[in-house]
């Protein structure tokens, strides 16, 4: 991995997006009580021998998705609804350079746009701060008692974080009186 490429990817996908997001959620002229919606289109890009130089991109996208999840932790959904999502497996120009059109069950090109509209609706509020895939069946997720229980009980569930930790906490470092 080339450091210049890594830093360029982080400047764009973390630094630029962070600046925009902070300005967006702290708009000084926003009417009191007006909810904002921040929808982050991320990726679950997989490092593969067929797609060179993917690592800085996917690493920086994951870093921003984790960061926007922390922004969501700081803002109640009633103030700013924040949802990150993977747009789906789309047969694009770059995908066609590596994959045959008949090799994968591609998602419809309209899926990310349709999902983004839904993600900005009140119906999606239960996914505030989470990272999901656009092609997941929302009705199935909402009907799955185990998923709903995990969303309620595990702060880190469906968030980009260190796998295996239900949440990151410094509580163990503080002296309890």
Question: What phi and psi values does residue 140 have, to the nearest 5 degrees?
Answer: -65, -40
Q: Can 121 be counted among the known catalytic residues?
A: no
What residues does 39 pair with on adjacent strands?
83
Distance between CA 146 and CA 92 in Å, rounded?
Answer: 35
Catalytic residue among 21, 60, 61, 84: 61
Catalytic-labelled residue, pool 42, 58, 60, 84:
42
Catalytic residue at 101?
no
Catalytic residue among 21, 57, 58, 115: 57
Q: How many CA atoms lie within 13 Å of 80's alpha carbon, on the beta-carbon side? A: 22
Active site residue 159: no
Of the candidates 87, 107, 90, 94, the residue with the CA atom closest to the CA atom of residue 41: 87
Q: How many CB atoms lie within 10 A of CB 106?
A: 16
DSSP string, 64-78: HHHHHHHHHHHS-TT
| Active site (catalytic) residues | 42, 57, 61
């Amino acid at each position: 991995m080339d450091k210049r490429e890594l830093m360029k990817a982080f400047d764009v996908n973390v630094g630029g997006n962070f600046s925009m997001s902070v300005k967006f959620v702290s708009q000084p002229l926003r009417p009191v009580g007006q909810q904002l919606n921040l929808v982050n289109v991320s990726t679950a890009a997989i490092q593969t021998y067929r797609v060179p130089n993917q690592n800085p991109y996917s690493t920086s996208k994951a870093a921003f998705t984790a960061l926007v999840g922390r922004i969501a932790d700081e803002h109640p959904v009633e103030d700013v609804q924040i949802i990150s999502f993977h747009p789906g497996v789309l047969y694009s120009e770059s995908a066609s350079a590596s994959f045959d059109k008949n090799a994968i069950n591609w998602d419809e090109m309209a899926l990310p746009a349709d999902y983004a509209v839904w993600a900005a609706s009140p119906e999606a509020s239960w996914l505030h701060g989470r990272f999901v895939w656009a092609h997941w069946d929302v009705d199935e997720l909402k009907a799955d008692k185990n998923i709903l229980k995990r969303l309620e009980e595990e702060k880190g569930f469906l968030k980009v974080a260190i796998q295996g930790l239900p949440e990151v906490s410094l509580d163990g470092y503080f002296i309890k009186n």
